[in-house]
Amino acid sequence: MQRVGIVGAFQTPFGKYLDRSLKSLAEEAVAGTTKDAAISIGEVESFYVGNSIAGLITGQEMVRGQTVLRRLGVSGQPIINVENACASGSTAAHLAWLAVRSGQAHVSMALGMEKMTHPDRSRPGQAIATAMDVETSPAKPGSISPFMDMYAPRIQAYMDRTGATPEDLARVTVKAQKNGALNPDAQYGGDLTVDEVLGDKMIATPLTRMMCSPIGDGAAGVILASEEYIDRHKIPNPVWVVASVLKSGIDPDDQPQALARAASEAFEIASVAPTDLHLIELHDANAGSELMRYEEIGLAPHGEGPRLIRDGTTNLGGDLPVNPSGGLLARGHPIGATGVAQLVELTKQLRGVAGARQVEGATIGLAENGGGWVGGDAAAECVHILKA
């Protein structure tokens, strides 16, 4: 098995770009990633493309990756379109990692791309609802926020169990927006107060709008290479992928569920403990999910997630910054791009080039990306651990 390093990483600025095509966003990401790696697209031996809803937004149901990559000069190299809802990007990265790790390719690329904005403003909500089983979905028909409807009672149950308050949820948003303001590629960012977050429009009690990840457009890429290739080409500062674990959901009666299992397996593979981590990018689809994930990843004992946001542990400058990029809440969440964007952020941080949001001395980071909801758990959960 080959050791695998990230040698190129790039994300477009995330935002609402009604006037830009999915292709144009993806092309910007491919150009940025190959430039960052100083590798020509012809040297990339395989491509894994994560996208979730282009069928509903652009009409391109099939061969989405080919429509982008073939006109950028990819000729012959395998292109594989991958879909795992909001975990499509990390799933693409997992497959690119496997291609290199197994020796099938020396250089492979994962591209995550999504356009969610549409002139018909009900379209993104309709699209998101299809990340659940459309026959049995708990989403309310016509809901603009089907996933928040699903999350809300789970977040409420978590609050009842742990004593987390609406103020704690608001603190997650305040942190995310503060970090996002330091990230030029984030969709949002700014100085908010807890009261401003609590006073925003209620989407699904207890989640106000600012506690929910937004609709947005964007693309991100990573290029992975084998240690042999990295040595041969004297590539400086690779960021090593020391674990890549993908799981589907776990039957509801069994604990722990997919996220916790993926994380503990990744820690074991990487021989890393949660206390060894210097930063995390996690799937804060909403502010409550972030607190729940603190516990599921193993950062805090059962029931003690809220402490980490109250005492500043997960702030930039705290002991374990979470989502220095701004996370889904502020960097944004163009579905299929998110998992790759998390790896882009970790790569920048572990290279020490994350600018105003740099986590000082960071050498070990974890990315966690969840997608869909089927059978009482996430449809897919993917955890990567990276080391400088």
**Which residues bind to its own copies, rule: CB under 8 A?**
1, 23, 47, 52-53, 55-56, 58-64, 66-67, 69-71, 74-85, 91, 95, 98-99, 101-104, 127, 130-135, 246-251, 254, 258, 261, 371-372, 374-375, 379-380
Tokens of 300: 């805090």
103, amino acid identity: G
* Selected catalytic residue, list 86, 106, 278, 382: 86
Q: What is the closest distance, in whole angstroms, from the C-beta atom of residue 253 to its own copies in the complex?
A: 10
Contact 349, 323 (CB under 8 A): no
- β-strand 107-114 against 46-50: which pairing, if any? parallel
State which residue, 33 or 162, has the beta carbon closest to its own copies: 33
Strand partners, 371: 380
State which residue, 79 or 159, has the beta carbon closest to its own copies: 79
Asked if the peptide bond before residue 206 counts as cis, ω within 30 degrees of 0, the response is: yes
Longest dimension (CA), the chain: 56
DSSP label at 273? -
Active site residue 86: yes
Identify the CA nearest to 220 among candidates 383, 61, 12: 12
Q: In a 3-state reduction of DSSP, which class is residue 97? A: helix
Sheet holding 4-11, edge to edge: 46-50, 107-114, 218-226, 4-11, 239-248, 377-387, 364-374, 279-281
State which residue, 197 or 378, has the beta carbon closest to its own copies: 378
State which residue, 294 or 373, has the beta carbon closest to its own copies: 373
* Selected catalytic residue, list 118, 333, 382, 384: 333
- β-strand 218-226 against 107-114: which pairing, if any? antiparallel
Q: What is the closest distance, in whole angstroms, from the C-beta atom of residue 388 to its own copies in the complex?
A: 25
Q: What is the closest distance, in whole angstroms, from the C-beta atom of residue 32 to its own copies in the complex?
A: 21
Identify the CA nearest to 349 among candidates 339, 357, 337, 341: 357
State which residue, 81 or 363, has the beta carbon closest to its own copies: 81
Beta strands in 263-302, from DSSP E residues, in sequence order:
279-281
Tokens of 141: 């028909």
State which residue, 124 or 306, has the beta carbon closest to its own copies: 124
Residue 315, H or E segment: none
Q: What is the closest distance, in whole angstroms, from the C-beta atom of residue 280 to its own copies in the complex?
A: 22
Q: What is the closest distance, in whole angstroms, from the C-beta atom of residue 348 to its own copies in the complex?
A: 27
Chain-centre distance for alpha carbon 192: 23
Q: What is the closest distance, in whole angstroms, from the C-beta atom of residue 298 to its own copies in the complex?
A: 17
CB-side neighbour CA atoms (13 Å) of 363: 4
State which residue, 81 or 313, has the beta carbon closest to its own copies: 81
Q: What is the closest distance, in whole angstroms, from the C-beta atom of residue 223 to its own copies in the complex?
A: 17
The Cα–Cα gap between 193 and 195 comes to 5
The Cα–Cα gap between 295 and 289 comes to 10
- Give the catalytic positions in this structure: 86, 333
